[in-house]
Amino acid sequence: MHGFIVLIYRDQRKGADSVTIREETEAIERQTFSRYATLSEHSRGRRGAEEQDPIRPCFQRDRDRILHCKAFRRLKQKTQVFLSPEGDHYRTRLTHTLEVSQIARTISRALRLNEDLTEAIALGHDLGHTPFGHAGERALNRLCPGGFTHFRQSLRVVDYLEKDGKGLNLSWEVRNGIITHTTGTWARTPEGCVVRRADHIAFLNHDIEDAVGAGVLDPRQIPPEATAVLGNTKSQRITTMITDLVEHSQNGRINFSPEVEAAYAVLKDFMYSTVYVDREAKREEKKVDKLIEGLYERLCGDPDLLPNFYLQIAYNEGVDRAATDYISGMSDEFATRLFVEWFVPQKWQVL
């Protein structure tokens, strides 16, 4: 169908100036997307002006930049829920991000929204997450003047920290979706709202699966008023929530039905009152506070330990900001290794 539209468009442009592949793709968007979708050609633009790519529309270009950046690669060794799990099948921040992207794209495609924009926001939404998941986030929030949240840090990563201070220069719509993906004000685009819903669908259902696999949750404990509406398995619940969202989203507003919204709230409250505070699953989190605090105080006390890029941040914005940026970007493994190097006595080797 899309190829047919392109042929028609090319035929209509015979005798006109040459048309780029990007312009052809933008023509497809105009003719196939919902009237509520965000068209690439209508983007509010970037913080720094750039020439358009001849092949990729702006949101596809943003998606590619995020996918190839260093912060995205580091997500593979950052905690999702369980700290440094030993099994092969527990989720990391990277697998969570990919699952959010898949769910969000499914919803956007069904609603005929802009999948490139949706995917770019989904892939970038957790780039600023700390090592050791929300335990690391809480530790930095306590230590950093002005506080710390991963969604604000995600925006700082794409705006400034990537590419040695140049940033990725993403479009306004992607940046808006990243900063609004968790709480508070909703995104100004339906695609950004889709990612926020997809994030909630993903983490809740996948955390249940990981908790069952870890032996900290018996699936029979899940409230029956939630399973009666959403389903008994992960697949059933995700399918129900996606289908309901597609059926009840209207006029560019991304909403569940009241019944599914209520069941989701029950399931979320259950997880926050049981799994997320489980003593066995969280017994290591007290150590995270000590580790993050140790790294932070050492770096603030001796800024020369910072890499050169972060030394520049310390000079321009203060050493506390530089220490926060450096620590928040670390993987679980790197933060642990650095702590051991600085604070754990090493064996004396006699030659």
Query: To 10 degrees, the CA torsion angle through 60, 106, 109, 245?
Result: -130
- Give the DSSP per-residue string, 207-270: HHHHHHHHTS--GGGS-HHHHHHH-SSHHHHHHHHHHHHHHH-BTTB----HHHHHHHHHHHHH
- Taking the C-alpha atoms of residue 94 and residue 123, their distance in angstroms, rounded to an integer, is 9
Q: Are 219 and 231 in contact (CB under 8 A)?
A: no
Dihedral in degrees, nearest 10, Cα atoms 105, 111, 114, 117: -50
Rounded CA separation 167/185 (Å): 24
DSSP 157: I
CA distance 269 to 204: 10
Domains annotated for the chain, with CATH where assigned, are 1-32 (no CATH), 60-351 (1.10.3210.10)
Work out the burial of residue 128: count CB atoms within 10 Å of its CB; fewer than 13 is exposed, 13-18 middle, 19 or more buried. Answer: buried
Strand partners, 92: 79
pLDDT at 283: 72
pLDDT along the chain (351 residues), means of 10: 50 63 98 98 97 97 98 90 58 92 98 98 97 93 96 98 97 98 95 98 92 86 96 96 97 97 96 79 80 98 97 97 98 95 83 66
State the Cα–Cα distance between residues 25 and 23, nearest whole angstrom. Answer: 5
**DSSP string for 179-210:** HTSSSSSPPSSHHHHHHHHHHHHHHHHHHHHH
Q: What is the DSSP letter of 346?
A: P
Q: Residue 167: count other Cβ atoms within 10 Å of its Cβ.
A: 20
Distance CA 198, CA 182 (A): 11
Q: How far apart are CA 10 and CA 149, in angstroms?
A: 48
Neighbours of 333 (CB within 10 A): 12
Rama region for 231: left / alpha / beta (φ>0; ψ in -120 to 50; rest): left
Residue 237: name the closest of 229, 248, 245 by CA: 229
Cβ partners under 8 Å of residue 127, min gap 6: 66, 69, 71, 72, 75, 153, 154, 157, 158, 178
